[in-house]
């Protein structure tokens, strides 16, 4: 999978090993979203999606990293975040993307809900090796 970052736009990498790290990821994404001048609603959606995915990385992936930064294409800028873990992976992606389905004790809204809240959503998972989720929210 290609990383969303352009040359010179290297992202910062943050560890997700403890519950407090999820709070930090929310703050990092908030700062980036404000930097990109996302609308208040879009900021809120992006931070919420990042919170869901960071918690997934911690709970289901056994911890991992989040790379976050600003991305741009020809006409627009946005915030991107890549959530990576070396956990068990997802055996059935369609099932995992279904509202209400959970392998843990959650509500089953993390993955499916996060996808609805962002503009670009890519999931790459290999059972036994880990999961990578990439999300982008573009400024309008």
Partner 1 sequence: MSDRIPILRIGDILLVSVQFDLEDQTVLNLQEDLAEQIVAKSAQGVVIDISALEIVDSFVGRMLATVAAISRVLDARTVVVGMRPAVAITLVELGLSLGGVSTALDLEKGLAKLRRPASSASQ
Binding stretches for partner 1 (CB under 8 A): 19-20, 22-23, 26-27, 30, 40-41, 43-45, 47-48, 51-52, 55, 99, 106-107, 109-110, 112-114, 116-117
The two three-digit tokens of residue 3, written as one number: 């990383």
Residues constituting the chain:
140
Q: How far is the CB of 127 from partner 1 (least distance, A)?
A: 24
CA of 48: how far to CAs of 35, 68, 86, 103, 137, in Å?
17, 14, 23, 21, 12
Report in angstroms how near the CB of residue 3 gets to partner 1 at its nearest. Answer: 25
State the minimum distance, in angstroms, from the CB of residue 32 to partner 1.
14
Instruction: Choose between 10 and 18: whose C-beta lies nearer to partner 1.
Output: 18
Q: Report the DSSP beta bridge partners of residue 12.
A: 68
């Amino acid at each position: 999978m290609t990383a969303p970052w352009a040359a010179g736009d290297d992202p910062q990498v943050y560890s997700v090993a403890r519950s407090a790290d999820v709070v930090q990821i929310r703050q990092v994404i908030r700062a980036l979203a404000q930097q990109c001048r996302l609308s208040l609603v879009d900021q809120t959606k992006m931070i919420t999606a990042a919170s869901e995915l960071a918690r997934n990385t911690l709970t289901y992936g056994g911890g991992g990293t989040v790379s976050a930064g600003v991305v741009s294409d020809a006409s627009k800028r946005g915030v991107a975040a890549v959530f990576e873990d070396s956990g068990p992976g997802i055996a059935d992606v369609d099932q995992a993307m279904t509202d209400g389905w959970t392998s843990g004790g959650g509500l089953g809204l993390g993955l499916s809900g996060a996808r609805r809240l962002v503009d670009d959503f890519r999931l790459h998972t290999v059972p036994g090796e880990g999961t990578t989720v990439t999300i982008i929210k573009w400024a309008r």
